[in-house]
Amino acid sequence: MENSKLKELLGVAASWQLIYAIPACLVAVFSMYSNAIAALFSLAMGILAISSATAIQRYKSSGNEQGLLTSFKHEKIYFILGTIYCLLISISLLATLLYIYRYGIEITQSPIKWSLRLAIDWLKD
Amino acid sequence: MNYENSPLDEDNQQESAELSEDILLQIPSNAFWTRLYAIFYLIINLLSFGLAFFILLQIPFKISVGIMIAGAAFAALSLWANMSLFSYSSKLYKVVKTADIDIFIEAMEQRKLYWQICVWCFITTVILVVIAFFFILAFLMSGGFAGGLR
């Protein structure tokens, strides 16, 4: 597959991908202490995005289609991880919403404690 | 004899600008996971808006306005990113059906747009965090949260 317009477009997309993924990885590393699970997901997704972008750039410079294929493969894993991550966040947000709906806001407690209290109260009910 | 712009050469270029078998085999699973990610991303967005609404209702008006402005920008951007992902996956599905390189290029344009919006979302998040930090700091220093927010 040889198409200069496509190569140019992919190159620009890869640059934006890198501009996003590199700082995102750094933020993930720095936020490891506060929320390790979320940070690990973000870090893994950031690394995959970087790897996907560099594979595209390899394709752009050499014309070897393997680069494009690798990029797609890494992008797929990025979206798989993203789906799991979003699922976990959705559960956490839902628990938080239910908690606030039932008890109001208590900023001194962590979401894990909120979820536990909510679960215990439900079991008691 | 110059063959550079001959019809034969154009035919060859047209022929080479086709999607290879490997790429076409890879695209369906990418389209599926992109679509699934977009759906969950939309759920997160909606839940976040719900949560933000609940919290903002219980915070004094002056503080909530600052956070709301940055929050609205972030919400608009993340919904836009979501729409671009949906469009990207739809175009990928179309590529699977047609194997048309023009649709593939359109899909790649959506992919570029997605990453561009991600960059702007990131910048907005940083601004949002900074604004929220200063507003909440000011609120705490003026004696807020003393009795909880109930």
- Which ranges constitute the DSSP H helices of B3-60? 7-16, 21-57
A51 vs A5, higher pLDDT: A51
Q: Taking 50 as the threshold, does the pLDDT of residue B100 lie above it?
A: yes
Per-residue pLDDT, averaged over B66-70, amounts to 67
Amino acid at B28: P
Contact A97 B47 (CB under 8 A): yes
Per-residue pLDDT, averaged over B127-149, amounts to 68
Contact B54 A104 (CB under 8 A): no
Residue B6's pLDDT band, with cuts at 50, 70 and 90, is very low
End-to-end CA distance of chain B: 86
Q: Which token pair is B127?
A: 């601004």
* pLDDT value at residue A110: 60
Q: Taking 80 as the threshold, does the pLDDT of residue B60 lie above it?
A: no
ipTM: 0.78
Instruction: Check: CB of residue A111 under 8 Å from CB of residue A85.
Output: no
Domain range list for chain B = 27-141
> CA A96 from chain center: how many Å?
20
| Exposed e or buried b per residue across A109-123, where buried means at least 16 C-beta atoms within 10 angstroms of its C-beta | eeeeebbebbeeeee
A2 vs B130, higher pLDDT: B130
Instruction: Check: CB of residue A15 under 8 Å from CB of residue B114.
Output: no
The structure tokens 């076409």 sit at B24
Tens digit of each residue's pLDDT (9 = 90 or more) over A15-25: 998 999 999 88
Please count the residues of chain B: 150
Q: Taking 50 as the threshold, does the pLDDT of residue A109 lie above it?
A: yes
Residue B62's pLDDT band, with cuts at 50, 70 and 90, is low
SS3 A119: helix
CA distance A103 to chain B (A): 8
> For chain B, what percent of residues have pLDDT higher than 90?
21
**Lowest-confidence region among A41-45, A69-73, A88-92, B85-89:** A88-92
Instruction: Check: CB of residue A48 under 8 Å from CB of residue A77.
Output: yes
Q: Taking 70 as the threshold, does the pLDDT of residue B66 lie above it?
A: no
B50 vs B2, higher pLDDT: B50
| Exposed e or buried b per residue across B23-51, where buried means at least 16 C-beta atoms within 10 angstroms of its C-beta | beebbeebbbbbbbbbbbbbbbbebbebe
Per-residue pLDDT, averaged over B108-129, amounts to 89
pTM: 0.78
> For chain B, what percent of residues have pLDDT higher than 70?
69
Q: Taking 90 as the threshold, does the pLDDT of residue B147 lie above it?
A: no
Residue in chain B nearest A109 by alpha carbon = B148
Tens digit of each residue's pLDDT (9 = 90 or more) over A45-62: 999 999 999 998 888 888
> CA B5 from chain center: how many Å?
41
* pLDDT value at residue A81: 93
> For chain A, what percent of residues have pLDDT higher than 70?
84
* pLDDT value at residue B124: 85
Residue A76's pLDDT band, with cuts at 50, 70 and 90, is very high
Residues 6+ apart with CB under 8 A from A13: A53, A56, B108, B111, B112, B115
Per-residue pLDDT, averaged over B70-95, amounts to 86
Identify residues of B whose CB sits under 8 angstroms from chain A CBs: 13, 16-20, 22-23, 26-27, 29-30, 33-34, 36-37, 40-41, 43-44, 47-48, 50-51, 54-55, 58, 101, 104-105, 108-109, 111-112, 115-116, 118-119, 122, 145, 148-150
Tens digit of each residue's pLDDT (9 = 90 or more) over B33-45: 999 999 999 998 8
